[in-house]
Amino acid sequence: MTKQRIQILVISFCLLGTIYFTILSYQVSREAEPPVMHTESLNQVIGRLAGNKAVDCGRVPVQGNRDVVDGCSVAMFKAGKPFYARYDFKGIDSRIAKILLRTPQGKMYLLHYDSDPSGGSGVGEAVGEDRCLNPQIVNFAGQQRVECK
């Protein structure tokens, strides 16, 4: 191999590497965006985003059975109707929940709720919002559910 061919190969690999890492860093930065935080209450955010005609698919308590709520979410997602569904989780010193929500315009969101993110000092609840760019119906343990991807 000539010296000129080696130089061309080295330059080509450097260019490809630069392009690859540029694309990778863009993708990582998009996925790592922090959620939008709201000063409104959880019910206000749900009402504003989902609208007054949204179907309330229900609430799954901590370690509760989610079949009915998932079934409603899947049905509303397939029908293209606005809905919201709440899934509660065990927090250390507050109530934690994730709320899957579809707007009347068809946008999907995953809301993150913490009743007291300060660890008990009573500053009030926090509601974060992530936009689902590619929501999908997936099969999990023989049941369908809508996932925010």
Interatomic CA distance for residues 141 and 132, integer angstroms = 23
Residues 20-31 have pLDDT tens digits of 333 333 344 444
- The pLDDT score that the predictor gives to residue 34 is 52
Q: Do residue 117 and residue 133 come from a single domain? A: yes
Judgement on whether residues 66 and 129 belong to the same structural domain of the protein: yes
28 and 40 share one domain:
no
Using the predicted structure, report yes or no on whether residue 36 has a pLDDT greater than 70: no
Could you tell me the two tokens for 137?
Answer: 């119906």
Domain span at residue 70? 36-147
Q: What is the pLDDT of residue 61?
A: 95
Q: For 101-140, what is each residue's pLDDT tens digit?
A: 999 999 999 999 998 887 767 678 889 999 999 999 999 8
Query: Same domain for 58 and 84?
Result: yes
Residue written as token pair 């989902």: 50
Q: Let me know whether 106 and 140 are in one domain.
A: yes
Domain count, the chain: 2
What is the structure's pLDDT at 58? Answer: 97
State whether 44 and 104 are in the same domain: yes
Contact 127, 37 (CB under 8 A): yes
Is there a single domain that holds both residue 55 and residue 83? yes
The reply to whether 75 and 133 lie within a common domain is yes
Same domain, 76 and 22: no
Helices (H), 32-121: 42-50, 67-79
State the DSSP code for 106: S
Same domain (yes/no): 65, 126? yes
Do 23 and 54 belong to one domain?
no
The answer to whether residues 48 and 11 belong to one domain is: no
